[in-house]
C-alpha cells in the first residue's frame, strides 16, 4: 500500500514538473507580434511604430533606394499584385523599409517609393534603430564596399507577410511565381 502511494506521488510530481516545463516552453516560444518594438519615420515625416503592423494585414519589404534591380522589381511587382487584387486586397498595407538609412533619408525613401506606388509607405530613421528593426525581423543585411569609395547592400529579398495581429504569416520570395504571390496575398487579406 505504501509503495502504491509513493508511486502515485512520484507520478503526480512528474506530471506537475512536466506541465510546468511545457508551460514555460510554450510561453517562451509562443507567437507574439513579429519583430521588436520600434519607432522610425515615414516618408512624410510622421513617426511610425510597430502598431502600424496591427489591425490589418501587412506586406513589408526591406531594401534600399540605390538597389539596381531587386528592390525596384519587388516594389513594382508588389504594387501590381495589390492592384490586381483590387477591393479584395484593399485592407493590406504595404511598407518599404530601407536597410541603408545613411543614404536613404525619409524624404529620399518617400520619393523613391512614390515613383512606383501610392499604396506603399516608405520607412527610414536613425541608422541604429533601422538596423535593430531589420534584425528583429530576421533580415540579413551587409554593407559591401565598391571601388571608388561607394557601396551597395546585400539583403534578404523576400516580402514579409504579417497578419492583422502583427504575427508572421509567410513570405513572398524574390521572383516567386506571380500566381503563388497573388494566392498568398489573397489568403493574407482574408485573414
| pTM strictly above 0.75 | yes
Q: What is the pLDDT of residue 9?
A: 54
DSSP-based three-state secondary structure for 189: helix
Identify the CA nearest to 139 among candidates 109, 99, 101.
Answer: 99
Identify the CA nearest to 43 among candidates 83, 98, 90.
Answer: 98
Q: Which fold has domain 39-190?
A: Glutaredoxin (3.40.30)
3-class secondary structure per residue, 2-35: HHHHHHHHHHHHHHHHHHHHHHHHHHHHCCCCCC
Q: What is the pLDDT of residue 21?
A: 39
Instruction: Find the radius of gyration of the CA atoms of the chain.
Output: 22
- Fill in the DSSP letter of residue 140: -
Q: What is the pLDDT of residue 33?
A: 56
User: Are residues 162 and 189 in contact, defined by beta-carbon separation less than 8 angstroms?
Assistant: no
Per-residue pLDDT of the chain (191 residues; tens, 9 = 90+): 666 665 455 454 444 434 443 344 344 434 445 688 999 999 899 999 999 999 999 999 999 999 999 999 999 999 999 999 999 999 999 999 999 999 999 999 999 999 999 999 999 999 999 999 999 999 999 999 999 999 999 999 999 999 999 999 999 999 999 999 999 999 999 98
Amino acid at each position: 500500500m505504501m509503495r502504491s502511494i509513493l508511486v502515485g506521488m512520484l507520478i503526480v510530481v512528474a506530471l506537475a514538473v512536466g506541465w510546468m516545463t511545457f508551460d514555460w516552453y510554450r510561453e517562451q516560444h509562443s507567437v507574439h507580434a513579429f519583430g521588436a518594438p520600434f519607432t522610425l519615420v515615414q516618408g512624410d515625416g510622421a513617426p511610425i511604430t510597430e502598431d502600424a503592423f496591427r489591425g490589418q494585414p501587412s506586406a513589408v519589404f526591406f531594401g534600399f533606394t540605390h538597389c539596381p534591380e531587386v528592390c525596384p522589381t519587388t516594389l513594382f511587382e508588389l504594387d501590381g499584385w495589390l492592384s490586381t487584387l483590387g477591393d479584395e486586397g484593399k485592407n493590406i498595407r504595404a511598407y518599404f523599409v530601407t536597410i541603408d538609412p545613411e543614404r536613404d533619408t525619409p524624404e529620399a525613401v518617400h520619393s523613391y517609393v512614390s515613383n512606383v506606388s501610392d499604396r506603399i509607405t516608405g520607412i527610414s530613421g536613425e541608422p541604429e534603430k533601422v538596423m535593430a528593426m531589420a534584425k528583429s525581423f530576421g533580415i540579413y543585411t551587409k554593407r559591401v564596399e565598391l571601388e571608388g569609395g561607394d557601396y551597395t547592400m546585400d539583403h534578404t529579398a523576400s516580402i514579409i507577410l504579417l497578419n492583422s495581429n502583427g504575427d508572421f504569416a509567410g513570405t513572398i520570395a524574390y521572383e516567386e511565381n506571380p500566381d503563388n504571390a497573388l494566392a498568398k496575398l489573397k489568403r493574407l487579406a482574408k485573414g
